[in-house]
Structure 1
Amino acid sequence: MAIFYCVPEMASPSSLLSEEQFLCSICLDVFTDPVTISCGHNFCMACISGYWNTTDQCPMCKQRFYTRTELRVNTFIAEMAAQFRKLVQVKAPSSPGEQPAEPEKLSCDVCTGKKLKALKSCLQCLTSYCETHLQPHVIAPALKRHKLIDPVDNLEDRMCKKHDRLLELFCKTDQTCVCQFCTETDHKTHHTTPLEEEFGERKAQLGKTESQVQQMIRERLQKVKDIKRSVEVSKKDAKREITDGVQFFTALVQSIERSQADLIAVIEKKQKAAEMQAEGLINELEQEITELKRRCTELEQLSHTEDHLHLLQRFPSLCSPMNTRNWSKISVYSDLCVGNLRRAVSQLEETVTKEMLKLCDAELKRVQQWSVDVTLDPDTRHHNLVMSEDGKKVRDGYRQHTLQHDPERFWNVPSVMGKEGFSSGRFYYEVQVEGKTTWFLGLMRESTNRALLLRSPDNGFWIARLIDDQFCPIGGTRVCLQKKLRRVGVFVDYEEGQVSFYDVENKSHIFSFIGDTFTEKLYPYFNPGRYDDGGGDNSAPLVITPVNHTD
């Protein structure tokens, strides 16, 4: 009895906490119904009974029992544990370092009643502990070897489902976490490393990935700015086009209204003149008719007379020719407006042409704002072609040149591509074609077969050819040119699927490929034609020229 009362009297909460024998190594709580098994270790009756349902070893010393002994409560340890529990309960509320678990924080798995916030989670015990219940892991030699981490939920997920052992290794072969038993069975021949080692590698990789993701974020934020800026530019362009369109159609409507009014006035004036002419003719005819009727009456009367003298005297005056007009060649024209409508339409056409020239001039100025610097790619040029050192001129060289074989090179057609490719947006460049009898210009897809002879949009070419002073889009309708082309502008709207050609000198639009869908990079295409193509000297080069931005 002296010993019994000595322990609680002399013991303080800190000294009690150092008494490892009062804590169950399975639940890590103060003994409840403590029992002592034959190897001398103590456990809660419920804890050891449950443990022995899965194995026949001692949890502490791993001694195997082939026959299970009857478990009886150790009354001495039970009484000591009760005293220990009372002292701990007195200590817990006054501990300044412990706080009740907040709703969003992980709580202690051991606390009964009011749950305190978990301080650490044990990977061996698969339990989270508050500061008080963590003490055995701090002071007990057997528990110090357990691995503690910051509180985490679902600790059971850290156990191997097949072997009920801690997942402490990583299988690089199958890219999955495994336990030690897994390396002796299913993953026996696989390459495994400790989780800590793989963790270090993956964390370093995470840093790189994070940097890449941040770079992607920055790129996308910049793209958002670019798109917003494009929208603003598009709004300005749309507003300008609306203004130009309204001005054009207003001028056109006004011209039509003026032409209509002039046509009506001319026709009405001519009609009125015709009516007045007809009225005068009718009056004159009616007078002649009256005079003829009078003479007819006199002649009838004279034909009935028996007076010889009277008939002979009146006969000369009545039978002499009357002073009347020859009406066989007199007529009033019914087609008074012949030529008037044609002249009105001709004037209207002149007005439309003038306004169209203004629009084309404005359109060319707008597309010129998308000008880019284009340089020829020597790795793609045909062996007959000669390029300038600056990559801005190309012409037929009359003979073959020794060139290194390159899959990107044109071998069948004397052509060359631009170095720069474009996979979005709009771009524009100009080419001098003066002095040439034939040439090919336009765009081509990056993946297009360079050996193709048939160059059409279906085959990845959007190009046009000059032949017999006619502009001939391959796959399109020929355009007759009023003047010789000296400089050609090429404009591409990637998203709209449009390739347009302009006569820069005359500031006019020539032709557009429209309605295509571009899905890969496009490159400028140049073919100066052979030196004697087109029925004349075609030795002049194609020259990529700077764009002259006019006001």
Structure 2
Amino acid sequence: MATTDDTPFSLKGLEDELTCSICLSPFDCPVTIPCGHNFCRSCLLATWKEAYSCPQCRTHFSTKPELKKNTVLSTVVETFNLRSNKSDVCLLGEEQEAELKDVIRCDTCMEAEASQTCLTCMASFCEEHLRPHRENPIFRPHQLSEPVGDLSQRICPDHHKLMELFCKQHVRPICSLCLQQVHKGCPFTSPEEQRTLKEQDLIDKLDLLDGKISHNRTVIHQMMDMQDVLMDSAANRKQALAAEYQQMRDMLTHEESVALNAVSQELESGKTKLRGLTKKFTENIDHMSKAQEDIRSLLGQSTSLAFLQASFNLPSAVNFDPYTPRIYLDSKRVMANEAFAAGLKEHLTELFKQPVEARLQMMKPETSNIPSNITSAEKRSDLLKYGTALTLDPKTAHRRIILSEEFTKASVTDEQENYPNCPQRFAVCSQVLTSQSFSRGRHYWEVRLSCNNFIGIGLAYRSIDRKGPNSRLGRNAQSWCVEWFNVKLSAWHNSSETVLANPNPKRVGVLLDLEGGVVTFFNVSDRAYPFHCFAFPFTEAVFPAFWMFSSGSSISLCKLE
């Protein structure tokens, strides 16, 4: 008859069913309530204070149910606890037995722990039985090593000899006969030397991993520090912005108060005028009312001789014709405040319709530093006097830029070109310089744009960075550019941006005046219309420079005619 342990149905599989859902331990004095759920008696009573409901399904009982011990479930739990304790003891015994199996015993006495293994005798010995190998000169040639558990692994399966060599070519241990036959001519070494090399290789890999892990952790800490700096910077900027907007609110509140006070003063002035006229008209009424009474009194004496001799003069108020004054709140001051408020609202409404990058240009139109002789549209023929032929330098072109049409056209592609490595080449930003540079005189060239988006035209010193993230035109002190980015046109130098009105040119002219320290950019059509210039004392030779980003976009150096 099979025992309970031998049956496929094990109590271990019922552990969840034998666990109280309140204390999450095996049932202790289990009781069953009317809804059918089981709990420890003490756990259930602890949850029943005022109302009586099932902690598991929330079924409510109007009266406290009678709790009786579930004897069958209690017996199953006791059996489960006994089997669990027995299993734990068995597992502990198996672990101890496994530890004992790992101990290498002496092959002579079979009891003591081996201290060394003789690879010549192919046996392991304790300190007592190792004495002949230490004291008898006959055993002196024998090869001793640390205790080896499975000596059969050291025996060549083909020649049944000790594998005392290691083939480097086939990366496996071999015996001396293998070296003369199958592995003849293969480079070999001893297992100890191979082990030393392997250990050193693994140590080197550990060192590499330690260094990489340490570097990654350092970078993570730096990024965490950067996050703290960013959070502090964001908090400071938010505080500064909040202060700016608060000042604007305060100014608007002050202006609102001034405007409202002007209306109040105008109202008070009108009320004062109305009070004065009301008082005067009331006095006139009083005078004329008294005259009425005098006339009526006189009429009461009409039969007397005195009536015939009496004379009566009307008061002067009779000669005053009353009028309703025209008083309006339309003084110049009130009207000016109303017009200003309406105009400001309209201006802000139009301003807020624009992207934030273009608002500053609308508020404060840029005053260009263009010299007085080119502040208006130029005849193109006057600029062509300084015309210069340019070609693009392939040694500087980024690998995403393709040069064509005899090095006068640069296009952006998604594929990387197989250009040779050289220090002049831009490695990060898709940019290219011309082969020509200028250090004196006036020079003019024109560039045709494929689109007004993600393209930059400018100048750069030879010393501009080619490899770093700050190598982009205008983001350093060694370059200047006008750049189209989305719908925005900006002028950049030394990471400082000036937003410009965008004329959306298809052809851009550039006039470089090195003696005057000015470079001017023109929208070229029937005439040349300047839209920006940089005034800067150039201290070294400058190269025309170009930046492009979107795949398919291009610039072409125009042939001047």
Same-fold call, TM cutoff 0.5: no
Provide the TM-score with structure 2 as the length reference. Answer: 0.37
Provide the TM-score with structure 1 as the length reference. Answer: 0.37
